[in-house]
Structure 1
Amino acid sequence: MATFTMLTSVALISFDGVGIIWSLLVLTIIYYVGKMVWLALFSPLASYPGPSLRAWTKIPAIYTTISGHDHEIFTALHQKYGPVVRIAPKELSFASGSPAFQDIYGSRRPGQPKPFKPRNWYGKSSNGADSLITADDSTHHRQRKILSNSFSDKALKEQEPLLKRWAEKMAMKLRSSATDGAEVDLLKIYNCTAFDLMGDLTFAEDLNMLEEGEYSSWVKAIFSGVKL
């Protein structure tokens, strides 16, 4: 009798455990389905045009990104739906720079709602410290105030001789390749010039990439990280 009672108790406990697991699973499914319905039909982005499937799931957006055809797909979508297209449940694509660029990336004007910047959109740094991109409002304001003078109109104009010098270096590199009849990877030339220029601006020393026509290990690591 005692053995039967013990086995019955174990069975009930086992059944209760399975019941709890199934209940949690059903609730999870209901939650995600409800969230999908809300995002697709009732969220603030529901009024924007775009393919119906993209309003329900991010799978099409992920596929086009992985396949490398974003630029072609987005162009076709804008031609069909207009200057603003919903490309995912929580994402919009803008075909024009104004006023979208200022609204998204510019400074907040008095009385303007705070721009929406989900911090989970950006990956966390390895040391856990927030950068200018991932920082919260107060930290971002402090960091931006430190850097703002470097990007003022006056400061950028003062760098014009340096920019011209690197543009001339790039032109000489292209002219030399053309004289030799060598094939030129323009993307690599532009990237090498840009990173050498950034090195010159930041450290007063370039990375010697334009001269050698090859990426440094540091830049290769950056490109690999971005791709990942």
Structure 2
Amino acid sequence: MASPLLSVGGLALVAHYWFKKYEPTDVLSLGVLLGLFPVLPVIMSPLSSTSTPFAILAGYCSFYAALFCSIAIYRVSPLHTLYKYPGPFISRFSNFHLVLVAARGRQHHYFKKMHEKYGPIVRLGPNVLSIVDVELLPSILGADGMPKGSMWDGRRISGNHGQTAARIAKGDLVGARDKQIHADARRVWNRGFTSASIRKYEPILIRRVGQLVEMLEAKCPSAVTHDASVPEDMSKWLNFFSFDLMGDFVFGGPFEFLRDGDKDGLLQTIQDGLRLSSLTGHIPWSFKAVMKLPFLPPQMKGVGEFAHRQVLRRLKDGAIHDDLFYHLNDEEKIDNDPTPLPVLVTYAVTAIIAGSDTTAFSLSSALYLLIEHPACYQRLRSEVDATFTPGTGLPTDFAKLAQLEYLNAVVNETLRLFPSVPTSLQRAPTPGSGGHLLGPDMFIAEGTAVYVPPYVYHRDPRYFYPDPDAFLPERWLKGEDDVATVLTPNAFMAFSAGPANCIGKPLALMQMRIMLASLLQAFDMRFPEGYDSRQWLDSLKDSFVTTRGSLPVILTRRSKD
């Protein structure tokens, strides 16, 4: 019996080597390595039939024990390429501890804590580094940097209708791990974000802002009557606003969340899908198996199903105006190459999540910070009132809004403290490249994932000082620092950086400026009596983008005098 078991142990080492070198995920390879290898020496040995079941069981136990021991010893040994980098000891064994961190929604706090303890480069998994060093950013995110990391293999939420399910490589703007595929998708999206295109979206934005302000005015008392008022959940209302705007902007509308509410529970479906994919992103090899679990697919596929319905509706109804879909579907016939339906669905999912949920979170965070800091609130309102006369309509001159220094400082400071994507900017060397050089002397082996967490960069005193955890819009204004202020623009990554930065940045900034200015001119805003504002902070969950709870605000209409 000893000889077959020794052979089983040897095959376990072979399997470990094979997994390490080739990372197979296909059913045949897994069946041979994990199913056949453990019993091959046993079934080939001269055992009697009565002992065969026990021998097979012993073979499997011995194989997996040897395999796990081999993997564990290698990952903590000096032979591993990441051995010299500090980090929690448990992280050297498996990524499963990151799954537990992500399940609690506190990944952004965990990353920050690890960097405070271990320094700018931390090993957070067997083959995972997190790097907070602005000098290395160009070789990570820049033009000569790395493509997306393995996390994206476990973050497919387009369901059965997207380009991944259809086995189409093109069309993935956010999750493409091939630089050329991303560049091709980016070229298509660029058409919808030229200066001329964005100007065409301005009337849509103004109309939706006006609708939200009117609806909130109808719900709240005036400053004269001082009637009793109940708080409004501004997180919910801003979410409804951003989804309606996205529907108009991408699909020619209408979703009418502001009018009808979330009748189908789409917003919760999106949050559930993001939460689950934030777990599978740490163990991407599990994604296909997770998708087969009978009780989980609705959460992962709900957004894809919704996007598919919207794409079919838009294709049937045609364009009311030159919406984003007009460009994504090449309705201008620039390429003369019809865009496949699965690619359009993937585009739509990208727009739904990146084009609405993130902006709603940023707006909610800005309101939270302004109400929490009355002096900042009053200063911003005074700046807006000095530029746009109160009571004369919405502040719709986007050129003037873009020139308001304190408004821009508030927006930047909000995005610094609460980036929509707190930690999950992940890159990795191009498959087949052998590795990638960061800076002059840091070599990243192929198969290593590198995180660049904006939340940690934005709160690092090396790059933002003083009080990097405090809301200080003045840090963005020249000449107003009482002490030596450190502000490092290259460490500010609210919209990512490099070739894969957020393509919707100009539109997102327009939304934040006009919405904040409009709300400040229309309402007096405060938290309800007895409300603990820490509830908002506690509700924030890092699920790739930040999900959040309610934000109760008492609104009172400002006097028109």
Which of 245, 251, 275 is 1:227 aligned to? 275
CA distance in 2, matches of 1:98, 1:182: 50
Query: Judging changes above 3 Å, is the alpha-carbon distance between structure 1 residues 168 and 47 closer, same or farther for their aligned structure 2 residues?
Result: farther
Verify the 8 A CA contact 1:177 1:183 in the aligned structure 2: no
Question: Does residue 152 of structure 2 align to residue 115 of structure 1?
Answer: no
Task: Please state how far the C-alpha of 1:141 moved relative to its aligned partner.
Answer: 4.7
**Which protein is richer in helix relative to its size?**
1
Identity of aligned residues (%): 22
Which of 205, 208, 211 is 2:256 aligned to? 208
Structure 1: gaps (5+ residues): 1-9
CA distance in 1, matches of 2:213, 2:86: 44
Question: Does residue 194 of structure 2 align to residue 149 of structure 1?
Answer: no
Structure 2: gaps (5+ residues): 1-45, 222-227, 277-561
The alignment yields a C-alpha RMSD, in angstroms, of 3.8
CA distance in 2, matches of 1:57, 1:103: 24
CA distance in 2, matches of 1:167, 1:201: 13
Verify the 8 A CA contact 2:148 2:175 in the aligned structure 1: no
Q: Provide the TM-score with structure 2 as the length reference.
A: 0.32
Task: Please state how far the C-alpha of 1:200 moved relative to its aligned partner.
Answer: 1.1
User: 2:288 — aligned with what?
Assistant: none
Aligned length: 213
Which of 25, 36, 61 is 1:25 aligned to? 61
What are the within-5 Å matches in structure 2 for residues 63-74 of structure 1? 63-74=100-111
Verify the 8 A CA contact 1:48 1:84 in the aligned structure 2: yes
CA distance in 1, matches of 2:132, 2:207: 33
Question: Does residue 136 of structure 2 align to residue 103 of structure 1?
Answer: no
User: 2:234 — aligned with what?
Assistant: 186
Query: Judging changes above 3 Å, is the alpha-carbon distance between structure 1 residues 14 and 187 closer, same or farther for their aligned structure 2 residues?
Result: farther
Task: Please state how far the C-alpha of 1:201 moved relative to its aligned partner.
Answer: 0.8
Matched residue SS, 1:126? helix
CA distance in 2, matches of 1:156, 1:146: 15
Verify the 8 A CA contact 1:84 1:94 in the aligned structure 2: yes
Question: Does residue 93 of structure 2 align to residue 51 of structure 1?
Answer: no
User: 2:160 — aligned with what?
Assistant: 126
CA distance in 1, matches of 2:247, 2:175: 23
Query: Judging changes above 3 Å, is the alpha-carbon distance between structure 1 residues 139 and 15 closer, same or farther for their aligned structure 2 residues?
Result: farther
Q: Which has the higher contact order (CA 8 A, sep 6+)?
A: 2
User: 1:80 — aligned with what?
Assistant: 117
Query: Judging changes above 3 Å, is the alpha-carbon distance between structure 1 residues 126 and 74 closer, same or farther for their aligned structure 2 residues?
Result: same
Verify the 8 A CA contact 2:94 2:125 in the aligned structure 1: yes
Q: Displaced runs of 4+ in structure 1, greater than 6 A?
A: none
Query: Judging changes above 3 Å, is the alpha-carbon distance between structure 1 residues 98 and 24 closer, same or farther for their aligned structure 2 residues?
Result: same
Task: Please state how far the C-alpha of 1:171 moved relative to its aligned partner.
Answer: 5.2
Q: Provide the TM-score with structure 1 as the length reference.
A: 0.68
CA distance in 2, matches of 1:189, 1:205: 18
Matched residue SS, 1:86? strand
Verify the 8 A CA contact 2:95 2:125 in the aligned structure 1: yes
CA distance in 2, matches of 1:189, 1:102: 40
CA distance in 2, matches of 1:224, 1:56: 28
